[in-house]
Amino acid sequence: MRIQNYRIDGVGLGKLLNTRQVKRMVASYVGENKEFARQYLSGELEVELVPQGTLAEKIRSGGAGIPAFYTHTGIGTLVETGGIPIKYAKNGDVEIFSQPHCTGVFDGKRYVMEESISGDYALVKAWKADELGNLVFRASANNFNAPMATAGKVTIVEAEEIVPVGELKPDQIHIPGIHVHRIIKCEKNEKKIEKLTVRQDQAGEAGLPAAMQKRIRIIKRAAREFKDGMYANLGIGMPMLASNYIDPGITVYLQSENGVLGLGPFPTRSEVDPDLINAGKETVTVLQGGSFFSSDVSFGMIRGNRIDMSVLGGMEVSQTGDLANWIVPGKMVKGMGGAVDLVSASGTRVVVTMDHCSKDGSPKILKRCTLPLTGVECVNRIITDMCVFDVVPGKGLLLRELASGCSVDQVRAATGCEFTVASDVAETY
């Protein structure tokens, strides 16, 4: 079974999971599906975790008859060296690990080789299909549907509407009918919204819990990183909230890995559209001039260095800019999503937003990361509830700014590595 994710318990392919009809799954992100996590960690389910952009390209290449390709995504991490748990034993030990990848050097830069994938069957959901099998997807529902439609020996499409030949204009068609073998009319077009997210009034911030106010402090500081005309990608959670605080005097074009360019604010309740979501499955809007495309095209933008800045969350960051943010082996598994792809793009500035310390008070900024890496020497700036660090190549961390009420000594006590202090460091947020 190869699929992007199993986000919702008991829905869609989650039904096969509940009936134990899935032996192995290839995925990038599994979201909040508790049954999936339970089966994986208890050894009932085998899981191959793959960077989301790599997964999209594996499927696209498989459909195009290309057996393998090279990508910089995952160099220096377990993606390259192997060691990602695929199957756990009942006692918690790992029975099967991922294997090392072949590598190659092109123009002095190292790349990993990834084998393409295809399936006996591809199950696809379309907005409209004509009687020749030509397909149209609506809004962000293009995502993995388009490349998946080309990668099955037999492609079966469930369409919301089947129209006569000629009703779909040739320049509207996303997937030509040559790839489609069967069409089924959707009888019950129920679209579940995983994370209904609507616009909130910022006037009530003062009454929020202390933990949320701390997060807002980080978010507001992160919003100052945006520059006019910038193309930016925001990670799930705290980074995405930074879009609420973009200076109204500038224009920032937000890109989402699931195939959206020009994300707008969260919708009002009357604007909610189940076909319009971001990579975190939150309901969103799109600004004038925005566009939709498939996931393989989206990650082509990312690998091709079209994104100026990426803001991501972090579990740990090292003094040299290594980032860990996707797994706690044996305990927490959500998958790497698109983060490994984003930090592997050499032309993209990477800003990490995170709490300075864990809930138990231990530092999250360390000499070396203890968790599996998302990327090596990829972080440019760290923004926490206490301070702002820049990662200076070959030198380490430079303390640039302090949060209100924080001193250099307090930052030293809460940081697990050495750093230097800028001569003009001051409280700025």
One-letter amino acid of 254: L
Q: Are 416 and 363 a contacting pair, CB within 8 Å?
A: yes
Determine the Cα–Cα distance for residues 163 and 59; give it in Å rounded to an integer.
Answer: 28
Determine the Cα–Cα distance for residues 88 and 277; give it in Å rounded to an integer.
Answer: 33
Q: Are 384 and 356 a contacting pair, CB within 8 Å?
A: yes
177: tokens are 């009918």
Residues contacting 203, CB < 8 A, separation 6+: none
Among 57, 80, 257, 316, the one annotated catalytic: 257
141: tokens are 């529902």
Identify the sign of the CA torsion 186, 190, 193, 194. negative
Beta strands in 165-230 (DSSP E): 182-185
Is 95 marked active-site? no
Q: How many residues does the chain have?
A: 429
Determine the Cα–Cα distance for residues 47 and 281; give it in Å rounded to an integer.
Answer: 21
Rg over alpha carbons for the chain, rounded to the nearest Å, is 22
351: tokens are 């800003």
Supply the residues annotated as catalytic: 257
